[in-house]
Amino acid sequence: MTNLPPMPNTPPVPVSKPGRSRRNVIIAAAVAVALIIGGGIYWLTRPSYDDIVRGCQKALAAQMEAGGKGKPSACGDVKKDDYDVLVISAAIDGMSKTDKDTLDYYDNGTIDGSVG
């Protein structure tokens, strides 16, 4: 390669200041690290799906005791199939725990028509 003199009427080649590109790389790296740390903290502090389902379960139980209707706001992020199962489970859990015979009959143990 030969070192020829510059052509007439050509602008000089811009010279970057030493350290400027290094500073830009350091700033870009610092911003990237900050975004990664912030994203990690956000991801770690969000409740898991299991936590959301447990919250929905508690809200449904409280709503059943209060005699309320509709979908609680705590169940907004629960999938439809899972919500249906939670509603059925809450309904079953809300049923009476004692055995009750709806016929309410009396049988004295003989064949005399006492059942009734």
pTM to 2 decimal places: 0.50
Per-range mean pLDDT, top range of 31-35, 63-67, 69-73 = 31-35
Whether the Cβ atoms of residue 105 and residue 97 lie closer than 8 Å to each other: no
Q: What is the mean pLDDT of the chain?
A: 80
When divided into structural domains, the chain yields a total of 1
- Helical (H) or strand (E) element with 92: helix 80-93
**pLDDT tens string 14-26:** 766 666 788 888 9
- The owner of tokens 């064949």 is 111
In a domain, 32, yes or no: no
Residue 7 lies in a domain: no
Residue 28 lies in a domain: no
**What range does the domain containing 88 cover?**
49-93
Per the domain annotation, does 87 fall within a domain? yes
- Asked if pLDDT for residue 53 goes beyond 70, the answer is yes
What's the confidence (pLDDT) of residue 33? 95
